[in-house]
Structure 1
């Protein structure tokens, strides 16, 4: 199937989740007059952002182990391996984004001008994903079972990052705690620019960028400090 999988995989996943939540559980996003297709588009936007996080974090613990030859036989900048994983995830998300924009254009005959702000909104996520990837890639060399933990984490984040619901749908006592989840904040801002035509909150975005830079710096520092023992362990 080649590149076709990049198209059919998110589409199939979207179809299953849309059926379960909008048909079986009769979930609605904004109100009772909302169509199932509207729900699917909003859900797809959240899954698009979550997919970048999930793909990179899932691959990170084994990315050095799977490329052991680069560690032991040649001089290779190992720190670029998480970049490769991230670029792969971005390619898949780009295909999903094209599908999303096409469906939205069919439904509404127009696209919000704020769509062009999506790359800016995603900057904090990309920085944080790189940082976590560097950290997990190095840790995975020494702790081979860390992949099981990250697999569980990725699943938990799917349900705790406002992918299937808006933060405002939660009881007030829980909204604050969920808003502390940076992934949920990025997903909410992505929906604002992709679906609702709203500008993201600048203050929240700046805080997320600073947090993303901190995670990226710490992850890279950990990677550089621990890489000296990769060859011995592998």
Structure 2
């Protein structure tokens, strides 16, 4: 039986070794999603804008949520809300697809030697592509309304790197579990919906009663959303201590997920 290395170095070495395959697979995934539609890739632009309009109306008009003491306009509220949506959509798009990744690519398991460990990364890159388009729309809107974004925007990669590592670790675990437990996909769909409303996307943390705020910070999305919002919109530098702790935790999570995937992949062919 073939042995698959769970060494932490192999986690990065495999992605680098198969970078051309990852690039081609990501391109095929993005283009294939919109193949045959009249608007093509423009749907990746329209979808987040449409959801933004709906959420902005519901939470700023109906529920009258505010971030800065009630003085901001609906447009400013939309910009703040959109940041949270971008972060959440990257997470949810990747995680919701993870349980079905191996099942939907069973031919790679049974018939050919294929680096299955890259499939969650391809899914993540696809989500990051859509996130980049949404971020481009946000930056354009900010330029029109306020002008040049704050210099703290250059902290964004430092915040997203540990977030990406965390998503990868969780994706490896879920994609493996999805092979053995088909109910995982249903559970993950419900969980991501719960996380969306337990994240400070539509409301500031200060709007949550203090007794419940600790629960919000148990949500892995809360820290990322708050930090991304701070550097993009409010011009506040992130906490280096929090960044360091987040990176260490995410790196450990990514390796644990990779190790779990490598140990359990031996049984994929038998189950499928």
TM-score bucket (shorter structure): over 0.9
TM-score where L is the length of structure 1: 0.97
Q: 1:121 aligns with which of 159, 180, 190?
A: 159
Q: Distance in 2 between matches of 1:16 and 1:171?
A: 26
Residue 201 of structure 1 corresponds to 239
Name the CA distance, whole Å, in 2 between partners of 1:39 and 1:201. Answer: 24
TM-score normalized with structure 2 length: 0.84
Question: Relative to 1, partners in 2 of residues 1:166 and 1:32: Cα closer, same or farther, differing over 3 Å?
Answer: closer
Q: Which residue is equivalent to 1:54?
A: 92
Q: In structure 2, which of residues 26, 47, 51 is the aligned counterpart of residue 13 of structure 1?
A: 51
Q: What number of residue pairs does the alignment pair up?
A: 234
- List runs of 5+ in structure 2 lacking aligned partners: 1-38
Aligned mates of 1:209, 1:118 — CA distance in 2: 14
Which residue of structure 1 lines up, in the alignment, with residue 220 of structure 2?
A: 182
Aligned to 2:204: 166
The alpha-carbon deviation at position 138 of structure 1 amounts to 0.4
Structure 1, gaps ≥5 residues long: none
From 119, 130, 139, the equivalent of 1:81 is 119
Partner of 2:64: helix, strand, or coil? Answer: coil
Asked whether the 8 Å contact 1:167–1:179 carries over to 2, the reply is: no
Deviation of 1:183 (Å): 1.1
- Partners in 2 of 1:176 and 1:24 — Cα distance? 27
Give the Å deviation of 1:179: 2.0
Give, in whole Å, the separation in 2 of the partners of 1:182 and 1:124.
11
**1:219 aligned onto 2:257:** yes
- What's the CA shift for 1:50? 0.7
Q: Residues of 2 paired with 1:124 and 1:168: CA distance?
A: 25
Q: Are the aligned partners of 2:199 and 2:219 in contact in 1 as well (CA < 8 Å)?
A: yes
Cα distance in 1 for residues equivalent to 2:71 and 2:256: 47
Corresponding position: 1:65 with 2:98:
no
Matched residue, 1:148 = 186
- Please list every run of at least 4 consecutive aligned residues from structure 1 whose deviation after the TM superposition is greater than 6 angstroms: none
Question: C-alpha separation between the residues in 1 aligned to 2:58 and 2:218?
Answer: 27
2:77 and 2:170 map into 1 onto residues whose CA distance is 31
Alpha-carbon distance in 1 for matches of 2:234, 2:51: 23
Cα shift readout 1:37-83 (whole Å, capped 9, x = no counterpart):
11000000011011111001000000001111110111000000001
Give the whole-Å Cα distance in 1 for the aligned partners of 2:213 and 2:203: 12
